[in-house]
Amino acid sequence: MHKILPVVLSGGSGTRLWPLSREQYPKQLLPLVDDRSMLQSTVARLDGLGGLAQPLLICNEEHRFAVAEQVRVLGKQGTVLLEPVGRNTAPAMTLAALWARRAGEDPVLVVMPADHVIAEGAVFRAAVERAVMLAEQGMAVTFGITPDCPETGYGYIQQGATLGDGSGAFTLARFVEKPDRATAEGYLDAGDYLWNSGIFVMKASVWLAALAVGRPDILAACEAAMAGARSDGDFVRLAREAFVACPADSIDYAVMERLTAGSPGLPQGVVIPLSAGWSDVGAWDALWKVLPKCGEGNASRGDVLLENCRNTLAISERRLVACVGVSDMVVVETDDAVLVVDHASTQDVKKVVDRLKAEQRSVTQWHRKVFRPWGWYDGVDAGERFQVKRIGVKPGGTLSLQMHHHRAEHWIVVSGTARVTRGEESFLVSENQSTYIPLGTTHRLENPGVIPLEMIEVQSGSYLGEDDIVRFEDSYGRA
């Protein structure tokens, strides 16, 4: 039986889906289509295939705890490789291949971005089974999405001759960049062009051998980074300096495009056409297309009221959103931002995010509700010299042993039980009880119970920023 290693690339930021997607909690971590996040759907996408190994996930430092928790909720024991910096997809796939080969094994890698939607899972798995058979023969396989419109936001793959072996695969003729409208219409009429899915299937050894021919500099840097890797709890940390020195490149540029030229020493590249309800959900109009809609073409989530609307996407996270007499619009409400955009302009949301970044507005980085490895906190109110937060601590969660130079804190337990360390004291605080942490006092908050702890924190002082934390001990390896 083939050993299949799912490799999930979770490095994107999803700026075009702002304000739901933020840099510190991007679109792949969000449940945009159903109750699962896009990351969770990707991790579970191959379930049911024979010879399936536990998943390997590659992400950055900032998302590591959220990624690990979402995989844990699925009941999987995945390995999480942490990239110190982003270097595009070719180094990420190289790290996956090196990790897979460390014990002398040579599994078939199924490399999938974490932020794609595939509506027809059974169709996709059947295509993966065919791809795995070709990969076992030493081929480098990708999927091309059968286009249904002249899309200008995707790259294209031109398919060559059929393999004629019943796999439904074709040789790779060429890759082309995102086209203009007229060119995309020509590709659609030609019938032999497919959207580039960014999903790849090949043996770890095949990728490494091809990379040694096409980009030996990337291979050398990744080997050095992996040689200095170390385990850190649930994560594998690479040697930082070695990986920072790695050139950035995509899987397509580094290897796949070279396979169309028949270069010596490279594997045969093939593409399998795929029609399985695929979308990279790159912008709000793309999300609208994949969501269930009413007879007027409207899709909604949350507390939404639509009157005389057509082809409108409305999302509410906190408050009632009412839309009257609008068409082809996207309205997204979060607790700290509201977006209103025409379908034709959804790609330009990135321009808004760029302006907000230039103004150093935190709404590009964080949601009001911020997730931590121990739970979450939500900024409820703030004013001069005070701030109010809701805090949730999961069972067994432990905040760091810490101290603040500029603020004192009042804690009121709403539900559950808190174990509080305050200076030399340690005591329990139960529902409807409270305690006080004076400025400059070493303290820690824990949830020793089996139900979530929720509390209200009132901070007061001359400075209330999150960087006023001096950590003495931390269960999660944070500085």
User: Is the domain of 210 the same as that of 319?
Assistant: no
Q: What is the pLDDT of residues 361-393, one digit of tens each?
A: 999 998 888 888 899 999 999 999 999 999 999
Q: Which two tokens stand for residue 199?
A: 């999903």
Tell me what pLDDT residue 246 has.
Answer: 95
Q: What is the pLDDT of residues 174-193, one digit of tens each?
A: 899 889 999 999 999 999 99
Report the pLDDT averaged over residues 80-86: 93
Please indicate, yes or no, if residue 119 is contained in any of the structural domains.
yes
User: Is the domain of 63 the same as that of 122?
Assistant: yes
User: Is the domain of 340 the same as that of 381?
Assistant: no
**CB-based contact 302:315 (threshold 8 Å):** yes
User: Is the domain of 130 the same as that of 208?
Assistant: yes
Please indicate, yes or no, if residue 8 is contained in any of the structural domains.
yes
Instruction: State yes or no: pLDDT of 332 exceeds 90.
Output: yes
DSSP-derived secondary structure for 415-456: ES-EEEEETTEEEEE-TT-EEEE-TT--EEEE--SSS-EEEE
Rounded to an integer, what distance in angstroms lies between the CA atom of residue 4 and that of residue 15? 32
CATH code, 127: 3.90.550.10
Q: What is the pLDDT of residues 23-46, one digit of tens each?
A: 989 999 999 999 999 999 999 999
Q: What angle do CA 447, 477, 95 make, to 5 degrees?
A: 125
> How does the average pLDDT of the chain come out, rounded?
93
| Domain count along the chain | 3
Report the pLDDT averaged over residues 86-90: 93
pLDDT-derived band at 12 (thresholds 50, 70, 90) equals confident
Tell me what pLDDT residue 474 has.
Answer: 86
User: Is the domain of 348 the same as that of 430?
Assistant: no
Q: What is the pLDDT of residues 404-441, one digit of tens each?
A: 999 999 999 999 999 999 999 999 999 999 999 999 99
User: Is the domain of 54 the same as that of 121?
Assistant: yes
Instruction: State yes or no: pLDDT of 1 exceeds 60.
Output: no
**Domain interval for residue 343:** 284-358
Tell me what pLDDT residue 479 has.
Answer: 66
User: Is the domain of 428 the same as that of 445?
Assistant: yes
Report the pLDDT averaged over residues 96-115: 94
User: Is the domain of 295 the same as that of 427?
Assistant: no
User: Is the domain of 341 the same as that of 438?
Assistant: no
Please indicate, yes or no, if residue 441 is contained in any of the structural domains.
yes
Instruction: State yes or no: pLDDT of 264 exceeds 80.
Output: no
Tell me what pLDDT residue 261 has.
Answer: 67
CATH code, 376: 2.60.120.10
